[in-house]
Chain A
Amino acid sequence: MVSTAAARLAAARRIAAGIPDPELPMVTVADLGILRDIRMDDGSLVVTITPTYSGCPALTEIARDLHGALTEAGLGPVTVQTALAPAWTTDWITDEGRRKLAAAGVAPPGPVSHGPVPLTLSPGRPGGAPDAGVR
């Protein structure tokens, strides 16, 4: 058992931040901004996570991983809860997360645009036929 509440919280933050994302194991849930908050509530650790998109099937796995790792470390009891608002955006991926994604060959997303419907088509693939995509 960890002696003080502050030490328990610090240990929990360290462990939770190191949990890998199930789909992109080269980055952690903290790198992606999925891990929202960890706090103590009446002797319990309360971990808040957020889905990247509404149908995200990985959220259950992430909750289990967090719960398992924190419990095994003797930091329980642990509750993992979901928060929908504010909604996640790719802006929440940390610089460290972007660096790791790029190093693994995954193009990190750029800033989110909030413009109207883009009515100008982007150019086709480099070197592709002019009608690529329309067959």
Chain B
Amino acid sequence: MTGDQTEDEFAAYQGLAEDSGDHRWAFGTGFTDPLEGIDTSVPDGVDAAALAAYCLMLGDDALIFSHRLQQWMTRMPELEEETAIANIALDLLGQARMLLARAGRAEGAGRDEDQLAFFRAEPEFRNVRLVEPEDADFAGLVGRLLVFSAWRLALLGQLTGSADPVLAAIAAKGAKETAYHRDYAAQWVIRLGDGTAVSHARMQAALGVVWPLVDELFLADPVTAALPGVAADPAAARAETAAVLDAVLAKATLDRPDAAPLAPVAGRTGRDGVHTEALGYVLAELQSVARAHPDATW
């Protein structure tokens, strides 16, 4: 390809990106700040740096898991499930956008959601390791989604009373969505667990794969500790999460796996920027276009 051809191609895309009178040619491409028009000043007495770090943690959980769910598109067993998983992935992407935007505003260094999503390196991500691995089958997907959404809903429930009104509003909106995610996953875990011998065995095996990453969800971390009344206490989410999981597993005739937790690395886990190998592959796919064309707009 000659340089001129490359120029021409860019010119064509440039035309598409420009604001024209008929904006419906590409519905849904006009991304703007998801917190536009919302007062994002940090309340008095709240540690702004810790608030930024905290929103990054919850935002990264949603961003990475959303990407993993997006990778399932065109691979679902039925069109109904394809639509459901696409919508769950979109919900989580929406939560991630608002949380990363909140993090950027609280940080006050001029970074927006795109810069945080596309231009941070692996150790700068603060998601739990649960959201990183690729699932081998549909049982793995719904098993991981059940654990993730039961835990996240417990956190979001606490956060609706956060002293940061922006975080409280994001949590209240996300809680409604996450309640659906949990119900969706629970119904499939029950259907597979209480299904045929094959579906039961695969669902049980899938839980065994996910379980070593569950304990990390409830560990204390210094960011949360620095935000009393603002952040959700992960230890307090343990009982609610366990009660939901136990109820679903009992109905699904599945056993709670007896798997040892994946150990922290020198005392550090996902919240400290220590990740599994799988995250590198997610970020490579997620970030490569933005990093190759850092000045692109869409």
**Which secondary structure dominates chain B's binding surface?**
helix
Contact of B27 with A117 in the complex, beta carbons under 8 Å: no
How many chain B residues touch A (Cβ–Cβ < 8 Å)? Answer: 47
Point out residues on B near A: beta carbons under 8 Å: 23-24, 27-28, 30-32, 34-38, 77-78, 80, 90-95, 97-98, 165-166, 168-170, 172-174, 176-177, 182-183, 186-187, 190-192, 195-196, 199, 244, 247-248, 251
| A118–B93 CA distance with the chains assembled, in angstroms | 25
Contact of B247 with A82 in the complex, beta carbons under 8 Å: no
Contact of B244 with A82 in the complex, beta carbons under 8 Å: no
Contact of A22 with B24 in the complex, beta carbons under 8 Å: yes
Of A22, A55, A60, A117, the contact of B94 (CB 8 Å cutoff): A55
The 9 sampled A-B contact pairs (Cβ below 8 Å) are A53-B91, A55-B93, A61-B28, A80-B37, A81-B37, A84-B170, A85-B169, A118-B183, A134-B196
Contact of A119 with B251 in the complex, beta carbons under 8 Å: yes
Contact of B23 with A54 in the complex, beta carbons under 8 Å: no
* B274 vs chain A, min Cβ distance (A): 28
How many chain A residues touch B (Cβ–Cβ < 8 Å)? Answer: 33
Contact of A84 with B169 in the complex, beta carbons under 8 Å: yes
| A117–B243 CA distance with the chains assembled, in angstroms | 11
Point out residues on A near B: beta carbons under 8 Å: 22, 48, 51, 53-58, 60-61, 63-64, 79-89, 116-119, 121, 131, 133-135
| A85–B176 CA distance with the chains assembled, in angstroms | 12
Contact of A81 with B36 in the complex, beta carbons under 8 Å: yes
